[in-house]
Amino acid sequence: MSSASVLPRHHRLYTAVLLAGLAALPVHAQQADAAQARTLDQVVVTGVRASSRTALESPVPIDVLTPDDLRGAGALNGELGQALATLLPSFNFPRQSNSGGSDHVRAAQLRGLSPDQVLVLVNGKRFHTSALVNTDTKIGRGTTPVDFNAIPISAIKRIEVLRDGAGAQYGSDAIAGVVNIILKDSPEGGELESSYGVNHTYFAPTGSTITDGQSSYGAANFGTRLGGSGFLRAGVEVTHHDATNRAGLDTVPDWLADPTPANLALRDQRNYAAGDPQSESYNGWLNSEIPLGDTAKLYWFGTYTQRHTIGDNYFRYPDSSANIASVYPEGYRPESLGHNRDVQTAAGIRGTAGEWSYDASLDWGSNAFDYDLRHSLNVSLGTDSPTAFHIGSYRFNQGSANLDGSREFAVGERSLTLAVGGEFRRENFATHPGDPASYAVGPVLGAPAGAQAGGGLQPQDAANLSRHVKAVYAEVSSDLTDHVFVDAATRYEHYSDFGGNWSGKLSARWEFAPGFALRGAASNNFRAPSLSQIGFESTSTGYGADGKLVTGRILSVNNPIARGLGAVSLTPEKSRNFSLGFTAQLGGGFDASLDVYQISIDNRVTLSQTIRSDGLEDYILQTFGVPGVQSVAFFTNAVDTRTRGAELVGNYRTPLAGGQLLLTAAYSHNSTDIRKVRDTPAQLTAIGAGNVLFGDEERNTLTDAAPRQRGSFSARWDSPRWGLLGRVIRQGATTRVFDFGDGYEPKQTYAARWQLDAEVAFHATPRFTLALGGYNLTNQYPTRSNSDINYAENFPYDVISPIGNNGAYWYGRVRYAF
């Protein structure tokens, strides 16, 4: 990758082009569909296969989100994950900075569990995960999460979020729940939408006012009829987001850099960068259906995303072992470049045959991530080192074939719904090495080898793993009485690399009085280790959190070095989920739900603690003949956990001042406890008494690095002419623990914060809307990091606080529906 490659800054052009398109629209454009407020009484298709069930009538908790919800919740940069985090207190979408690949693909959590323990569907079909392995992040370390931001916002008709284990219904990965994204399917009309926003904030650590993070978004979609009752709906999106920087002023202490004149001259400067990466993405999508006679329909849908991002890494000082002064006389800050291409497509036939309804489909998804560096060096190559490197390529492909059928049976005066089906799925994960210069050990003796800020994947690191999965399921549901509904499901899955597993689920709802009901569910769920957790390896040279240069390797459990350190083959995660809930609906104006749950997970797959003892490097050299390895980590089933929580959602709607007022309150509390930790292998303790397989830093990742409590209250008023939105969010406290070795484990808790959002919309015509608003209007920041954690005051705020560290954000939006 050439170091001259820079993302273009087109956001002003996007807005101008879209506004010009608005002016050119025909005056006979049709009336837009009325916005639908989020409510618990909408018919859903997730969580139970019986038809015509609503979210309020479901035996498990389901949230339903509409496009209007997403518009008012931070989706302006095309970030679906951020919008979900704003709307759903049980959903966490932390921002990352100086976190390697995690700067480019953000991981999401549901109910405080790992990002790979939530299953994502699009139109009911399994969506693939990212190919990139998150190894340098806090939340989601060691996972290949679903990239929520690869799904175009403008394509979404609604989102159904099932907050309950659903492995028996949908298969592996659904331990925390299921997010089902339903695409737009209207056969007529269209939309044009554009927004522009910017961060404008007072930044206390430097005593300055900062304006950055300029963001633009443009989208268009339309629908047309096909074959009478068929349709085609398609759209495009373009987004651009400038980087933000919330780094402090560098104190350049002795432990961080040698006290030479060239280094000390950089004191009180912003040498580092901390904030959002610069990004640009291009998205396209379609959803279509064509009738095949009177009893069947052919359907096809798909999404495509191409995204380019630029992330920051730690600064390298002029006089340091990581620099060549003749190349970078003032030091340098490497930048990571991510090139992300994501495709998902599915086609099938659904219809009826006799008493049966059926759906036969083929689904294919692929993610390709190419990783580059610029403004970097391989110091061991001396002045011959390039300054730009290709670090490696990641690929993940997933193909599946599904056949589903359902029918109703009369049982006395009641009806019973039976659903059965089968799936065959094939997965492939592969990595490819980077440029030889990105990992080469050059002729300069004693100099760190490999590209700074992430040595390239080496030929020995390359992986290519495949597996296939076969599954069958059955689900039965029925209203046993006028007031009791029961659903039971079972599923058998067979993995070519892990063998078979049975999952089961029983859920029920009892309406004990008109408008009032109890609901509950019990299930066991299953998640096989991802192919990346089985086979991924990497080698890197960079700065540890303690400021020291370290060459480290992440090893697969099959690597001889990992085996020599006590690694064993991975086993699947298995959970036991229990939930109990209460729902209430008073007339058409008020509805609410309260659910409590417990999720016990055995054999959780995590990365081990980073192992870096004095004897490690010598042991690896003498035993395996591999020099220079100073730290090691590998995947392990080291821990069993138990998560307990409660979730509250309430809505109140009433006519007010010629419009409609909707009040919504939501609250989530969860707590994860460590129930059991596997003993540290004897091989590790033999080479260093301080070595642990799963230590305090990784315990912190699972238990309190994510907020245990989050809540929100919003008020939304809409009339034919105006729309007002106000929202208060309470982001709970988080805790950070570092393990710098030798017993030095600094810890800090970041206090809860309140966030205020607001928007005012003007409906100039029934089709044309202007809106102005902002997020975090009171410019709240996390607790300042203490001197043990703030890295010589370069990082005054930690990324794990959900309030973020960007301060206030202001935006404007225009929308035309026809």
Integer Cα distance of 539 and 553 in angstroms: 4
DSSP 343: E
**Sequence-separated contacts (24+) of 783-786 with Cβ below 8 Å:** 783/748, 783/749, 783/750, 783/751, 784/205, 785/748, 786/746, 786/748
**776: which 2 tokens?**
């975090």
With H, G, I as helix, E, B as strand and everything else as coil, classify residue 17.
helix
Quick: pLDDT tens for 109-134: 999 999 999 999 999 999 999 999 98
> What's the pLDDT score for residue 548?
61
DSSP 82: H
pTM as predicted: 0.91
Q: Strand 177-183's sheet: what is its strand order?
A: 62-65, 156-162, 177-183, 118-122, 125-126
**Average pLDDT along the chain, 818 residues, taken 10 residues at a time:** 40 38 34 37 74 83 92 75 91 85 89 95 97 86 92 95 95 95 96 96 97 96 93 97 96 95 97 95 97 95 97 95 96 96 98 96 98 96 97 97 96 92 98 95 88 89 96 96 96 96 97 97 96 91 59 90 94 97 92 97 93 88 87 94 97 96 96 95 85 89 93 96 97 90 86 96 96 96 94 93 92 95
Amino acid, single-letter form, for residue 360: A
Residue 71, phi then psi, degrees to nearest 5: -60, -40
Instruction: Give me the residues paired with residue 757 across strands.
Output: 727
> What's the pLDDT score for residue 35?
35
Give the CA angle between residues 605, 618, 136 to the nearest 5°: 35
Quick: pLDDT tens for 37-86: 344 456 778 877 776 678 888 999 999 999 989 888 865 567 899 899 99
Integer Cα distance of 397 and 342 in angstroms: 10
Q: In 528-630, where do the E strands start and end?
A: 538-543, 549-555, 573-586, 590-607
Q: Give the chain's domains with CATH numbers.
A: 11-33+179-695+791-817 (2.40.170.20)
Amino acid, single-letter form, for residue 267: R
DSSP-derived secondary structure for 636-687:
EEEEEEEEEEEEEEEEEEEEETTEEEEEEEEEEEEEEEEEEEPPPPHHHHHT
> What's the pLDDT score for residue 165?
96
> What's the pLDDT score for residue 34?
33
Place of tokens 């309190």: 704
> What's the pLDDT score for residue 26?
34
What is the helix (H) or strand (E) element at residue 322, kind and residue range? none
Is residue 290 within 8 Å of residue 296, measured between CB atoms? Answer: no
Antiparallel, parallel or unpaired: β 118-122 and 768-775:
unpaired
Antiparallel, parallel or unpaired: β 463-479 and 499-513:
unpaired
**571: which 2 tokens?**
């086993």
Is residue 439 within 8 Å of residue 539, measured between CB atoms? Answer: yes
> What's the pLDDT score for residue 392?
96
DSSP-derived secondary structure for 389-437:
EEEEEEEEEEEEEEEEEEEEEEETTEEEEEEEEEEEEEEEEEEEE--HH
Nearest 10 degrees: CA dihedral of 348, 353, 358, 362? Answer: -30
Q: In 61-189, where do the E strands start and end?
A: 62-65, 91-92, 109-110, 118-122, 125-126, 156-162, 177-183
> What's the pLDDT score for residue 577?
98
With H, G, I as helix, E, B as strand and everything else as coil, classify residue 566.
coil
> What's the pLDDT score for residue 18?
35
Integer Cα distance of 353 and 343 in angstroms: 32
> What's the pLDDT score for residue 139?
85
